[in-house]
A and B are shown apart, each in its own frame.
Chain A
């Protein structure tokens, strides 16, 4: 399953991967697996999306084709060519 993944600008900056293309193609069946593949490729992302025990941080959010995924949908199968957006949720101001 090929998924087109975009990372939020904050996540790209924190992980020091701003020079990577805006959209990264990943082969994975669901959102969680896409993230795992990306973290393997860019280890500097790990601290921003997982806690010390490797559990997904609540600030990591997924949008598929513009729709936000609920927590129990992170392993929902993605369609071939789906657009996945990984957002570092952050509040302030």
Chain B
């Protein structure tokens, strides 16, 4: 059967063995691909008690059936492993151009086992693969490494994923870069660094196999037209994801001052979409492979201390994490700091959150300049952040503490610092405030990888631009974002859909454009399985429970399904002022709808219904 065949390149860096593994068709049908397949592989292959940074952890770089095709929003691939940040199942994904090349080389994924005793990179050219010395690349940033490797492997341009210095130094939130795009969350770059794997280079000359290429092509045309006609994708093209800053500021969704400030409209006015994409900073736009949306910004800085810089601009998350959450309203500085994080390979959400926590600790006298090496970490101080970012990446001074992530860092700092660590299950909370959308709070509390805005489309549902009536996910829900009573079943359904999207692997930005029929047909035409939407929803449910079960085996319980005290405390100003999240109420409805026992494990009945009796046997 042509289509998504589950051909994995399996590399053992301890002994240099390279093998081809083909995933069983039944497994592919049930887990689709991407992070769905990642959860299944982790369950089958990784001891849940293993240290995330030990050679026994495995790293999975995985495509899905639509990965790398010319579908808009289809450039993404997933990176999965046990996380050194959360100590549970982790997934991260990014766009760019790697998935297309990997699949053109004939591979649907890479499994990395063991660890090398010296820096190496993996070179793949179609069926051939070999491990090469990377000593000369160690210590370099992502952008330089990609340039060097592309120059070294000339001819047809090679595609590269790599880690920056933060991955080498095992910063617990180091990401994996594909050029300017990062699979940023959960420390997948640290796992790669622990294996001394600096990069993967791939050159492919084949065609991506599709089960029904003509039908897929027709469907693609329909989707392209829908994307062109859709106002959300039009705005994405015009202003990038940062357009959301303006809306978030108005709805109370925009965090400020380490989540303590509810009204951040003044900073938003200086850092929003029209500013980043205005004449002062914008020189062009870019798309991932196959996409026509063009949501990526190309920026320049012409004035001030960073004048002369030019390169890839920030996304919404970077602008807010390094902007309003640090009380910084200097757009040029945010662009520069975001670029620093990308080059070092730092997850910009986690890095910004760690610095925000440190700033609050300084303000409250928990940290002093003695702890910071003289750096004045006060709100809005750009110079301090510019100094702090490399210190985190290199684990120098206070940077070594902040490199652990806010949960561990706060425990080390002590003196009540944990109150200012804004995280769920150890993962720093992304820059959308659940006080303005209570359902998002439930999604954060129960997300498969911790607090995450791409576990499922909860955030888009709250924005009123998501319409999947088959699952009860309609724009009308946006009217109830500041209530807690309606979200239990909604978030369960949203999570099931999220698993399909992340297994596909589709881009969330196309969520408002696609519908149930589109996703079903695209997955069927690409994979070769005659999926119905109801079967896919069952796959989504199965995948969610597999991720949850793996995390349960790694130690996660119901007690971990919580939100930070600060987010449970209403703000006193801004559009969400006074609205208190009732997480207990939401969990009371959510747990039975989700099929969880009160202790937080999937119920035996649920697992058996989904064909996960092997997981049940390990959990019970």
Contacts and interface: CB of A to CB of B under 8 A. Distances in A.
Interface of A: 8-10, 13-14, 48, 52, 57-59, 61, 66, 68-71, 85, 87-93
A66 B247 CA distance: 14
Contacts of A91: 232, 244, 247, 459-460, 463, 465, 512
B595 interface: no
Contacts of B475: 58, 71
Interface residues of B, number: 42
Given A10-B274, A85-B250, A89-B478, 19 more contacts: A8-B247, A9-B274, A10-B235, A10-B239, A10-B246, A14-B235, A14-B238, A52-B229, A68-B479, A71-B475, A89-B247, A89-B464, A90-B244, A91-B232, A91-B244, A91-B460, A92-B240, A93-B241, A93-B319
B315 to A, nearest CB: 5
B533 interface: no
A91 B431 CA distance: 12
A15 B262 CA distance: 29
Contacts of B243: 10, 90, 92
B476 A90 contact: no
Interface string B251-267: 10000000000000000
Contacts of A66: 575
B242 A88 contact: no
Interface in B460-487: 460, 463-465, 467, 475-476, 478-479
Contacts of A92: 236, 240-244, 295, 315-316, 509
5 contacts: A8-B246, A9-B269, A69-B479, A88-B235, A90-B463
Given A14-B238, A71-B476, A93 B431 contact: yes
B511 to A, nearest CB: 9
Contacts of B232: 59, 90-91
A53 to B, nearest CB: 12
Contacts of B459: 91
A58 B463 CA distance: 9
Contact of A58 (B235, B251, B465): B465
A8 B243 CA distance: 11
Tell me if B's interface is mostly helix, strand, loop or mixed: helix
A59 B464 contact: yes
Contacts of B246: 8-10, 90
B244 A58 contact: no
A80 to B, nearest CB: 24
A61 B246 CA distance: 14
B273 interface: yes
Contact of A89 (B463, B509, B575): B463
B590 to A, nearest CB: 22
Contact of B464 (A10, A58, A85, A93): A58
Interface in B253-289: 269, 272-274
Contacts of A89: 247, 463-465, 478
Contacts of A8: 246-247, 250
A86 B319 CA distance: 24
B317 interface: yes
A87 B274 contact: no
Residue in A52, A88, A93 with the greatest tally of chain B CB atoms within 10 Å: A93
B231 interface: yes
Contacts of B319: 93
Given A9-B246, A9-B274, A10-B274, A93 B317 contact: yes
A87 B465 CA distance: 13
Nearest to A91: B463
A93 B246 CA distance: 12
Residue in A58, A61, A69, A88 with the greatest tally of chain B CB atoms within 10 Å: A58
Contact of B274 (A13, A61, A71): A13
A51 to B, nearest CB: 8
Interface in B334-355: none
The 5 residue pairs across chains A and B that have the minimum distance between CB atoms? A93-B316, A92-B241, A92-B244, A91-B463, A93-B241
A88 B274 contact: no
Interface in B422-457: 431-432, 453
A70 B436 CA distance: 16
Given A10-B273, A59-B231, A93 B238 contact: no
B231 A93 contact: no
A78 to B, nearest CB: 18
A90 B317 contact: no
Given A48-B231, A59-B231, A88 B465 contact: no
Contact of B272 (A9, A69, A71, A88): A9
Interface string B215-232: 000000000000001011
B573 to A, nearest CB: 12
Contact of B476 (A10, A52, A61, A70): A70
